[in-house]
Chain A
């Protein structure tokens, strides 16, 4: 790392995170003592098999669920301690989502779907449509602006999803198996697109996947097994990997 380059800021910090689920008289521990730091502009992959706790970790990081114990800070804000309303406001400003099943609203056009996060923020229709159209053109859907989700292919829908995640210029975008429903060619397109966006605006991406090939897009791969981080792998530009057992 060059000396004159500024040290990137910490975007997400996880401290002693623990998550338990109570099932009748049994308690399942999904996450145990997770400590983690993710820098600004970093593409971080949370990798693991099903049941490893990777989705649970994503839920905690994004504030979709409250942990049993421990804290998650994003930009220094303890999101685990925010009220519902504060959390909603925080998501509007700082968080974007790309979902595996796209999760576009079926009664809205591509443009309206992309403009939705801006609508929640109370932006005027003219302004938000302008932004939505601009970003849809960037993802190559300039000719699909008025299309409804059911009129588009999976790849196109996911590109709308990406546009929606990035339209509000969030600090962090959480991508949950974003290519899980796509073929390999489209997967490459979609991942390149996410990466390109993140790089341009120095945004942090948290990518959750069980697919080792997908993990290669990340700067750092965090491997979870049974709710514990077992391995951190740094991907450098030459494609070499530095492993670090924990």
Chain B
């Protein structure tokens, strides 16, 4: 028997008893919806956790701590870390120690800056670390420096009168609500700065905290302006990022007597290639004698919890799909016993047992398939309804509570992430699962059909 013929027979049989088929399919639809909706909420929770964690910092970043002279944060360590498998990059950060500075720009030192977050970073790591440029390029030459996105606003114009010689970004970025609260608006439009900092030559006047009057001068050039990302470093906002060796040179200039042979870092970060590799990389770093901290220590238990929740939700859904499976089996058994004579006739006329089994399995599988498809479509609709209702309902008080608890139990406020997410794979999985459930529940009835004797055709009623 050809496959097409078997499909046709199975469809004909399903259409023959429409109401029964519809009810059986409905069972699968309900089961499928239950599973998909439950899992979609689980995925929603997981997603909001992920967003929350990402908001707290780069999930692939591992902070490394030294351990005295046994495990120093130096170049050698940096190289070792970079050789660990699944390490994307190792980043060393340095700071100016016991050095104060003023920075001047413009003719006759017209613009002046007395505070900026200054850090040094190895040049090859800047881009991989995830620093993004708004304009310009990464440093190539000596004393080329990156400026934070808002660094330029901290310059004071000495030629303007008091009260107008500074730009206070707070005025732009915080707006007062009618209730009197200040609301932060990161996308607020900013005014033009006093001057364009890109490609500016700046004069950096340095002094040690031990001797304020002994000033050193170093000329630097801004080669690029960074996109603000305070999870990377505050310097991306209001600061300057040097190449490590330039910063070390400055340190040396102010403190020529300090005897540093090797470059040491204040902080080292190791970036793993993927979230799933963070634990492995951390393990390796610890084996080298260092201590580490990463978001992994928060993420892991949250993920674990989310998985448990998902399994619980999915299990609830699975129960209803199991009930639907019993429904399919029941329907198929009824249909087999109703068609006993037909099956006998088919056998007497030379139909292979395999074909008979296949038609019944197909019938059951088809019920699963249709139920799965309809169920998935309805699940999408349910998911949309849940999300709309949860965002539109005014739950400001409840939301605040949820936000607080969110930090503890891992459920996020519905504002930032939808409550229910149905990824394509989930719909696909649901359909596939329904088909398998259908086939599984058709197995016993199909066997029953196969064992009907051809003699049934001869029997007289």
Are A and B part of the same complex?
yes
Any chain A CB within 8 A of the CB of B457? yes
Q: Given A59-B455, A107-B13, A107-B16 in contact, is the A117-B460 Cβ separation under 8 Å?
A: no
**B349 engages A116 (CB within 8 Å):** yes
Between A85, A88, A100, A125, the greatest number of chain B beta carbons within 10 A of the residue's beta carbon is seen for A88
Contact of A101 among B12, B346, B455, B460 (CB under 8 A): B460
Contact of A97 among B1, B16, B352, B457 (CB under 8 A): B457
Contact of B454 among A64, A90, A101, A108 (CB under 8 A): A64
A93 to B350, CA, bound (A): 8
Any chain B CB within 8 A of the CB of A191? no
A61-96 at interface with B (beta carbon < 8 Å): 62, 64-65, 84-85, 88-93, 95
Q: Given A58-B458, A100-B460, A103-B345 in contact, is the A122-B350 Cβ separation under 8 Å?
A: no
**B341 engages A88 (CB within 8 Å):** no
Residues of B within 8 A of A124 (CB): 2
Query: Which of chain A's residues has its CB closest to B454's CB?
Result: A64
Any chain A CB within 8 A of the CB of B390? no
Any chain B CB within 8 A of the CB of A121? yes
Residues of A within 8 A of B5 (CB): 119, 125
**A62 engages B348 (CB within 8 Å):** yes
A62 to B454, CA, bound (A): 10
Residues of B within 8 A of A105 (CB): 342, 345-346
Residues of B within 8 A of A197 (CB): none
A176 to B352, CA, bound (A): 22
Any chain B CB within 8 A of the CB of A186? no
**A88 engages B353 (CB within 8 Å):** yes
A107 to B17, CA, bound (A): 11
Contact of B348 among A64, A119, A122 (CB under 8 A): A64
Any chain A CB within 8 A of the CB of B213? no
**B453 engages A85 (CB within 8 Å):** no
**Nearest Cβ on chain B to A1's Cβ, whole angstroms:** 35
**A65 engages B455 (CB within 8 Å):** yes
Kindly supply a per-residue 1/0 record for chain B positions 430-461, scoring 1 wherever the CB is within 8 Å of any chain A CB and 0 otherwise: 00000000000000000000000111011011
**A119 engages B458 (CB within 8 Å):** no
Query: Which of chain A's residues has its CB closest to B461's CB?
Result: A101
Number of interface residues of A (CB under 8 A): 33
A97 to B341, CA, bound (A): 14
Between B341, B342, B350, the greatest number of chain A beta carbons within 10 A of the residue's beta carbon is seen for B350
Between B12, B345, B353, B355, the greatest number of chain A beta carbons within 10 A of the residue's beta carbon is seen for B345
Q: Given A105-B342, A107-B12, A107-B13 in contact, is the A120-B458 Cβ separation under 8 Å?
A: no
**A99 engages B458 (CB within 8 Å):** yes
**B355 engages A120 (CB within 8 Å):** yes
Q: Does more than half of chain B's interface fall in helix, strand or loop, or is it mixed?
A: helix
**Nearest Cβ on chain B to A164's Cβ, whole angstroms:** 8
Q: Given A100-B460, A103-B345 in contact, is the A117-B350 Cβ separation under 8 Å?
A: yes
Any chain A CB within 8 A of the CB of B249? no
Kindly supply a per-residue 1/0 record for chain B positions 62-104, scoring 1 wherever the CB is within 8 Å of any chain A CB and 0 otherwise: 0000000000000000000000000000000000000000000
A107 to B351, CA, bound (A): 17
Any chain A CB within 8 A of the CB of B347? yes
Residues of A within 8 A of B13 (CB): 107
Kindly supply a per-residue 1/0 record for chain B positions 7-40, scoring 1 wherever the CB is within 8 Å of any chain A CB and 0 otherwise: 0000011001000000000000000000000000
Contact of B352 among A59, A117, A120, A164 (CB under 8 A): A120
Q: Given A99-B345, A105-B342, A107-B12 in contact, is the A59-B458 Cβ separation under 8 Å?
A: yes
**A85 engages B460 (CB within 8 Å):** no
Q: Given A64-B453, A64-B454 in contact, is the A120-B350 Cβ separation under 8 Å?
A: yes
**B350 engages A55 (CB within 8 Å):** no
Contact of A120 among B1, B12, B457 (CB under 8 A): B1
Which residues of B line the A interface, CB within 8 A?
A: 1-2, 4-5, 12-13, 16, 341-342, 345-355, 453-455, 457-458, 460-461
Excluding A65-B453, A100-B460, A117-B349, 13 further A-B contacts by CB distance (< 8 Å) are A64-B458, A88-B353, A91-B350, A97-B348, A101-B461, A105-B345, A107-B13, A116-B346, A119-B2, A120-B355, A125-B4, A125-B5, A164-B349
The 3 closest A-B pairs by CB, nearest first: A92-B350, A91-B350, A103-B345
Q: List 27 A-B contacts (CB under 8 A).
A: A59-B458, A62-B348, A64-B348, A64-B457, A64-B458, A65-B455, A84-B353, A85-B352, A85-B353, A88-B351, A89-B350, A91-B350, A92-B349, A97-B348, A97-B349, A97-B457, A99-B458, A103-B457, A107-B13, A116-B349, A117-B349, A119-B5, A120-B349, A120-B350, A120-B352, A120-B355, A125-B5
